[in-house]
Copies of this chain bind each other. A is one copy, B any other.
Amino acid sequence: MERISFIDLGSNSVRFVISEISSAGSYSLIYQEKESIRLSENMWGENKLTEEAMSRAIRSLKAFAHMAEAMESNKTYAVATAAVRLAKNGDDFIARVRKKTGFNLHCISGEEEARLGFLGVINTVDLEDFVIFDLGGASTEVTLVNNRQPVKSVSLPIGALTLTGNFQKGDEMGEKEYEKMVNAIQDILNDNKWLHDLKLPLLGIGGTARNIAKMDQRRINYPVTRLHNYEVPRERFHDIVEMVKDKPLAQRKKIPGLSSERADIIVAGLAIVEELINYLDADRLVVGGCGLREGLFYDYYGQEYMGGNPIINDILIHSAENVLLGINKRELIHGKYVSQLANTLFEQMEPMHGFGERFQKLLTVSALLHDIGKKVNYYNHARHGAYVLINSNLYGISHVEQALCGFIVMNSHGLLTKEYRNFIYGQLMTGEDKSVGQKLSAILALAEALDESHEQFVTSLATTIKENQIIITAWIRKDCDTSVANAAVEKAVKIFKKEFKKQLVVQWKESL
């Protein structure tokens, strides 16, 4: 087991996290803190960090150094971005940090920043070809991703703070000023023809993107508050721009979902995003909740635990196994085994349900994590499992898919109407989703039943589908006692009758 700290010192705030990596290689966040230190405040005249700003930063970093020690984290990766990079006295500041806190602060280049942001995104969002933007105060980093590899990056010299400062004369931005700002953005985009007309989704990390998602969620009454992997279609994004841009500041501060500290610079931020969407001809904006900090983590994890490759191959299965690794070893073996059985049953039963590969994957995830609710309470562990699954860091899965996985787990033990009503994520699901979920639950219930005694004695399965019957032949190790599994199969029989209108028959046969 080791604990590693990561620090991301930006122009506005500094973020500090401690991650724990278990001896089995599973990881989880165990501490995080963010301080608003405004490091770049008043630096742009002379391009020098002010004494006050440096003191604020060092005060926070000292506290983090202390916390790292108290939490027994003995490695720290600390990076500084634009403010330190651009400040003439950046090196002095780094030396002071080393002296006062012991941290070896790395001032990273724009390219390295884009690479780390990319790592945070690519390991947590399931897209192959897309464009990432990270909208900051003074610049916007843009990265083109093809086939999950970063192809090209640029740091555009437009940011929410600088544009507001340059184009807004009084308290509000007038119509003409707005037009001038848009022209300036377009001029800069036109210098980057490689971005033109890519027709790829645009993924945003950072505060502006998160605020857009929050405003959209409030407008459409989205039933949950999760931001990571939230999608805003281009049309709805445009509606938000229209709603925000002409409102005076006092009115903007009241917009549901918009944080009041961002209300002054949101108009410029939205303009940049809108012009990017137009220039790319993107159909939607996707919000990423992970960025530089997570990229720092995956960079380290790839180096130390994945043979140098920081890009995880299948992020959904990887993240599900990571959650599963947090429980005891016996449950881990059972979870993996049940997911194999469920996979085989899904394939053999394909003529009965006709579901495609994506649903197979969602069933795999549900089966891996089906017993995770025992961490909360043995009783009703299927319902608690749905809660834990939905609130775990699973990546590469949409909100509605995660709702579906929760539902599959919840429903595999039967579900009360009241329990379903209280399942908030159910509001994301259509009736069709629910009906698919019920069938997948039935397959999970059978897979669980086959390993009810946690002995992993089934060595292979064969399925024969008849008009009114489904016959599963389960080959098992010699001299196994199937009585416990049999009792569990009886419950699955009822579920199969209901979901597939067929009589389920399980035949046990000893392997040679």
Contacts and interface: CB of A to CB of B under 8 A. Distances in A.
A32 B380 CA distance: 11
A487 B35 contact: yes
Contacts of A67: 452-453, 484
A392 B487 CA distance: 28
Contacts of A60: 487
A66 B380 contact: no
B225 A416 contact: yes
A391 B376 contact: yes
Contacts of A64: 484
Given A63-B483, A225-B416, A483-B59, A29 B70 contact: no
A62 interface: yes
A32 B378 contact: yes
A483 B418 contact: no
Contacts of A380: 391
B422 A62 contact: no
A69 to B, nearest CB: 9
A79 interface: no
A30 B223 CA distance: 34
A66 B483 contact: yes
B62 A30 contact: no
B387 A483 contact: no
A8 to B, nearest CB: 16
A387 B391 CA distance: 11
Nearest to A17: B378
Interface string A223-250: 1110000000000000000000000000
Nearest to A60: B487
Contacts of A487: 33, 35, 60, 63
A454 B375 CA distance: 24
Nearest to A62: B483
A419 interface: yes
Contacts of A416: 225
A460 B44 CA distance: 47
Interface in A361-378: 374-378
A375 B225 CA distance: 20
Contacts of A454: 70-71
A402 to B, nearest CB: 13
Contacts of A71: 454
A453 B70 contact: yes
A28 interface: yes
Interface in A457-488: 481, 483-484, 486-487
A424 interface: yes
A455 interface: yes
Contacts of A50: none
Contact of A424 (B225, B375, B422): B422
A481 B60 CA distance: 13
A447 interface: no
A287 to B, nearest CB: 15
A209 interface: no
B481 A66 contact: yes
A449 to B, nearest CB: 12
A223 B71 CA distance: 41
A378 B30 contact: yes
Interface in A1-56: 28-33, 35
A388 interface: yes
A459 B45 CA distance: 49
Which one of A71, A378, A380, A392 has the highest number of Cβ atoms from chain B below 10 Å of its Cβ? A378
A384 interface: yes
Interface in A133-151: none
Contact of A387 (B35, B387, B392, B455): B387
A393 B422 contact: no
Contacts of A452: 67
Contacts of A30: 374, 378
Contacts of A225: 416, 418-419
Given A64-B484, A225-B419, A376-B388, 8 more contacts: A29-B379, A30-B378, A63-B487, A66-B481, A66-B483, A223-B422, A380-B391, A422-B424
Interface of A: 28-33, 35, 59-60, 62-64, 66-67, 70-71, 223-225, 374-380, 384, 387-388, 391-393, 416, 418-419, 422, 424, 452-455, 481, 483-484, 486-487
11 contacts: A28-B378, A29-B379, A66-B453, A67-B452, A67-B484, A70-B454, A376-B387, A376-B388, A376-B392, A384-B391, A422-B424
